[in-house]
Every structure is written in structure tokens, then in C-alpha cells.
């Protein structure tokens, strides 16, 4: 039996437990860190294209900041893929993109395939444990026209053919929560901002530059040492519109981006206020994260594309749970978006499916510096029909990227992450680091073999 077939079989077995498991969990309290507690509600709020690499002093996000006072903030959270659909597929399933089958965006005119309904999602996992499960907002994983029941979620709806967003989404999420009764619930509210940074060219000159906004320290990069697809993105693809921008235009871009992030925080506040009004905040786990980041002018690049820079891979990840977390906790431990599903299952005291690639992060609540992942492995496949597969290994100190075709490495990058150089110098050809490169290359190959990468 193939690895993929085995994975699907284990998911089918998990889903078959649904009614029996729900009955078994209905009357149980959970033991969490030695405490008997009611099963928590879970609110997952996702933004789109939000990087972690923004100075907090530049942002006015009071609602997220308040949640962090009884939560853990992961400062080294890395997305599974720097693109919407594959990253979202990993958040939903706890699998790497090439395991979930969603390797690029699921759009008309793109190569992406919809998430298989045979895979267990976070919706299935919690519904099988007796939860009411809902999803509102951006899905971007296909098969959404008739709702998301096949993915374990109720409540999803379209507005004029598009998912709810912004204030309308925040209000719909609040009303969904208000309608819940004694059954524990899980709700995903997925917002489109700051993805609308793509609208910036149309209003660039009307944007006011915000105080304190500067160019990134790695702004100046001619990409001469970098793999060819990076230069092609800048000169022939979506990046070319930025070639005529002045430094002030880039400051406007970065200012507008901050505003977009702040709009999501206002929406977050609307939803959390409903949780408070119900008296449920103490026993509600609130997760805030994003699918991937944005370049924001680093390496003179806008948006996202076929590259694996920190600005694109690093995402916000915060988990608030006032019943268990009584002070702000900051964890520098390297984690991945594939860890969200198993972590929430663990905190709720319910079983996760077998065979997940993600790991339970709950031990970091007590020991924030504990090493969960010595390495994480982001991946990339294509932009629409422009195929440029990338496989990456990232440690606390190093990052090694390989641009690949089946059975072959086309180009490589090696960066030190602990020298504050912003990945400007590609060290892959420097013999002083040949041993480092070799070790990372071997570890990356072992991961690709262990996870049955189809491009090997």
C-alpha cells in the first residue's frame, strides 16, 4: 500500500469513529496539565499574507495584544508553504502540502487541486468529539459552492459568489457564536486582509506615509547571487510593477500594509467581544495566525512568489487560553503551521488522527524554550502555471533552499539566520560552509524520503 493510500485509509478510519466518539466525549471533562476542566471552545482567526517580521511598535493591535496577556506567542512560527491554498491545507490537516495534495493555489487557471474530502480536517476532528464546528470567510481549498459539510464545518456561506469578509464576516462570526448552546464549539473566521496589499498600485499616491515606517534593512538586493526565478518574478511577473516605484512609494506600500493588519485586529475584537458577552472567554482557546507573509520590499520584492525568505515564511501565531495561561508567554522555539491541529486537539483533550506530520506544542506552555522541531521544512510548487518547486530546511541558525525538478536540484541557497544580514549573501558556494551545506542537504533529503516527496 502506498504512503498516500495508507494516510487516506487512516483518515477514513478516524472519520468512521465520528458518532461513537461524539457520544463518548459528550459528558466528559478533560484532564489538562492535571486539571479537570470543561472542554474548551476554540476560536481560530486567520489573516492572509501577514508576516511576523514587523516591529510591534508600528502596529495598533489592541485586541491581539490583550489576548496575548493570557496566551503564548510563537516568535519563530513558520508556514508550511508561502502561498495561500497549500498553507491553508496544512493548517486544516496537520500535513505537509505534498501530503495533503494541495501543493499550489486552488484557483481557476491554476494547477491547484481541491483538498480531498477523504482527509480528516480540524473540523472533522472536533466534530467527532462532540463539538459544533463552523467555518466563515476565506476557504481557498476548493469545493466551497455548496458549503463545507464534507470538510467537517457548518455555517459557511457565500455573498454574491464570494466568502464573507471584513466587518460582515466579524458580525456573522459573532452571531454564529451567539447561537451556540451547551455544546462546545469550534469556529474558524478567515479574513482576506492584509492580502489586499495587491491593490496598492491603484492607490499608491493617495497613501500617507506613517510615522516610523522605514525601508527594510535588506531592501537593496540585485538578486544576482540568487536563483533565476527570483529575478524573473521581479522583471517579468507580478514584481515588475514595482520597478518604477520610488523609495517613498515603498514606504507607502509598507504603511498601507500596517493599516490592513490593523483592520483585521478590529474584526478580531468584534468576535472576541461576543465571546466575552457570553461569559465564555475563560474557557475559550483563541488562535491567531496567518497563511504566509509578504515581502514588503525586502530584497526589493513585493507580495509573494517563488522564494523562501523569512519575510514570507514567518507568520504570527498566538494561542490564548485564560483558563490555563495566566501571564504572557513568549516562545522562541521553532514551530510550524502544521502543528496547529495536533496542538488544539491536545489542549481540548481529544484524539488527533494518526500519522500527522504536525506536533503538539502544548509542552511549550510550561517550557517555552523546549525544542519541538530541530528543523522545519517549508515547500513551494507553482504560481498559476509557472512551476518552480522549492524544498527548504530551516533550523534556528541556518536555511538551505533547493529549487528542484523531479530527481534533480537546479539551484541552491544557503543563509545564516543568526548574523542579522537579512539573507542578502547566498553562501552556498562558500567552501567555508561546505560542511554545513552538506549536513543540511542530507537532512532535507531524509525528510523528503520520509514524507514521500513526489518530486524525488
Half-sphere exposure of 79 (CA within 13 A, CB side): 33
CATH code of domain 379-450: 3.30.1120
Evaluate if residue 104 carries a pLDDT over 60.
Answer: yes
Q: How do residues 122-142 score in pLDDT, each as one tens digit?
A: 999 999 999 999 999 999 999
Instruction: Specify the pLDDT at position 23.
Output: 46
Q: Compute the distance between CA of residue 293 and CA of residue 312 in angstroms, rounded to an integer.
A: 4
CB within 8 Å of 224: residues ≥ 6 apart: none
Which among 233, 250, 245 has a CA at the least distance from the CA of 305? Answer: 233
Q: What span, in angstroms and rounded, lies between the C-alpha atoms of 325 and 366?
A: 9
Distance CA 369, CA 85 (A): 30
Beta bridge partners of 36: 31
Domain with CATH 3.30.1120 in the chain: 379-450
pLDDT of residue 16: 57
Q: Which long-range contacts (CB under 8 A, 24 or more apart) does 405-411 make?
A: 405/455, 406/454, 406/455, 406/456, 407/455, 407/456, 410/227, 411/227, 411/228
Mean pLDDT score of the chain, rounded to an integer?
94
Full-model pTM: 0.95
Calculate mean pLDDT across residues 341-355: 97
pLDDT in tens, 393-416: 999 999 999 999 999 999 999 999
- Write down the residue that cell numbers 459539510 correspond to: 149
Task: List, as own/partner pairs, every contact residues 428-437 make where C-beta atoms lie below 8 angstroms and the sequence separation is at least 24, other chains included.
Answer: 428/400, 436/398, 437/400, 437/412
pLDDT value for 420: 83
Indicate whether 64 pLDDT > 90: yes
Which pLDDT tens digit goes with each residue over 155-208?
999 999 999 999 999 999 999 999 999 899 999 999 999 999 999 999 999 999
Sorting pLDDT into bands at 50, 70 and 90, what band is 8? Answer: low
C-beta of residue 193 within 8 angstroms of C-beta of residue 263: yes
Question: What is d(CA 78, CA 51) in angstroms, rounded to the nearest whole number?
Answer: 10
> Residue 27 — very low, low, confident or very high, per pLDDT cuts 50/70/90?
very low
235 within 8 A of 243, measured Cβ to Cβ: yes
Which residue, chain included where needed, has cell 489592541? 62
CB neighbours of residue 4 within 10 Å: 15
Q: Are 163 and 138 in contact (CB under 8 A)?
A: yes
Q: Where in the chain is the domain with CATH 3.40.720.10?
A: 3-198+247-365
pLDDT digits 0-9 by tens, 199-257: 999 999 999 999 999 999 999 999 999 999 999 999 999 999 999 999 999 999 999 99
Distance CA 49, CA 384 (A): 17
Q: In CATH, what class is 3-198+247-365?
A: alpha beta
Which cell goes with 330?
Answer: 513568549
Which residues is 41 bridged to in the sheet?
284
- CB count in 10 Å sphere of residue 236: 11
Distance (Å, whole) CA 404 – CA 160: 40
The percentage of the chain sitting over the pLDDT mark of 90, rounded to a whole number, equals 90
Amino acid at each position: 500500500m502506498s504512503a498516500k493510500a495508507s494516510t487516506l485509509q487512516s483518515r477514513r478510519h478516524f472519520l468512521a469513529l465520528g458518532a461513537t466518539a461524539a457520544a463518548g466525549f459528550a459528558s466528559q471533562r478533560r484532564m489538562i496539565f492535571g486539571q479537570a476542566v470543561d472542554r474548551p471552545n476554540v476560536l481560530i482567526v486567520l489573516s492572509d499574507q501577514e508576516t511576523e517580521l514587523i516591529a510591534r511598535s508600528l502596529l495598533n493591535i489592541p485586541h491581539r495584544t490583550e489576548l496575548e496577556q493570557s496566551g503564548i506567542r510563537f516568535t519563530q512560527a513558520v508556514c508550511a508553504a508561502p502561498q495561500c491554498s497549500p498553507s491553508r491545507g496544512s493548517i486544516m490537516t496537520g500535513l505537509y502540502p505534498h501530503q495533503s495534495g494541495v501543493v499550489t493555489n486552488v484557483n481557476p487557471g491554476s494547477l491547484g487541486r481541491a483538498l480531498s474530502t477523504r482527509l480528516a480536517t480540524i473540523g472533522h476532528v472536533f466534530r467527532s468529539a462532540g463539538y459544533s464546528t463552523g467555518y466563515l470567510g476565506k476557504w481557498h481549498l476548493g469545493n466551497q459552492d455548496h458549503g463545507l459539510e464534507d470538510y467537517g464545518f457548518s455555517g459557511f456561506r457565500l455573498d454574491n459568489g464570494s466568502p464573507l469578509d471584513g466587518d460582515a464576516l466579524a458580525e456573522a462570526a459573532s452571531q454564529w457564536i451567539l447561537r451556540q448552546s451547551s455544546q462546545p464549539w469550534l469556529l474558524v473566521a478567515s479574513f482576506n486582509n492584509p492580502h489586499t496589499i495587491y491593490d496598492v498600485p491603484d492607490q499608491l499616491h493617495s497613501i500617507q506615509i506613517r510615522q516610523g515606517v522605514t525601508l527594510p534593512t535588506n531592501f537593496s538586493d540585485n538578486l544576482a547571487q540568487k536563483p533565476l526565478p527570483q529575478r524573473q518574478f521581479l522583471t517579468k511577473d507580478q514584481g515588475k510593477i514595482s520597478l518604477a516605484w520610488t523609495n517613498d512609494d515603498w514606504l507607502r506600500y509598507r504603511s498601507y500594509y500596517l493599516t490592513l493588519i490593523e483592520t483585521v485586529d478590529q474584526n478580531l475584537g468584534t468576535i472576541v467581544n461576543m465571546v466575552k458577552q457570553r461569559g465564555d472567554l475563560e474557557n475559550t482557546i483563541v488562535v491567531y495566525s496567518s497563511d504566509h507573509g509578504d515581502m514588503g520590499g525586502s530584497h526589493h520584492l513585493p507580495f509573494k512568489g517563488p522564494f523562501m525568505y523569512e519575510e514570507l515564511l514567518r507568520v504570527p501565531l498566538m494561542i490564548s487560553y485564560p483558563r490555563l495561561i495566566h501571564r504572557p508567554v513568549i516562545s522562541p522555539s521553532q514551530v510550524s503551521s502544521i502543528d496547529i491541529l495536533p496542538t488544539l486537539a491536545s489542549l481540548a483533550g481529544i484524539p488527533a488522527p494518526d500519522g500527522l506530520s504536525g506536533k503538539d506544542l502544548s509542552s511549550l506552555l510550561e517550557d517555552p524554550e523546549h525544542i519541538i522541531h530541530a528543523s522545519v521544512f517549508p515547500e513551494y510548487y507553482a504560481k498559476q502555471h509557472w512551476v518552480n518547486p522549492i524544498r527548504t530546511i530551516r533550523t534556528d541558525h541556518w536555511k538551505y533552499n533547493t529549487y528542484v525538478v523531479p530527481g534533480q536540484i537546479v539551484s541552491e541557497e544557503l543563509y545564516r539566520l543568526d548574523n542579522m544580514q537579512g539573507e542578502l549573501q547566498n553562501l552556498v558556494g562558500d567552501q567555508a560552509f561546505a560542511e554545513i551545506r552538506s549536513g543540511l542537504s542530507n537532512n532535507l533529503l531524509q525528510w523528503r524520503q520520509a514524507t514521500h516527496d513526489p518530486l524525488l
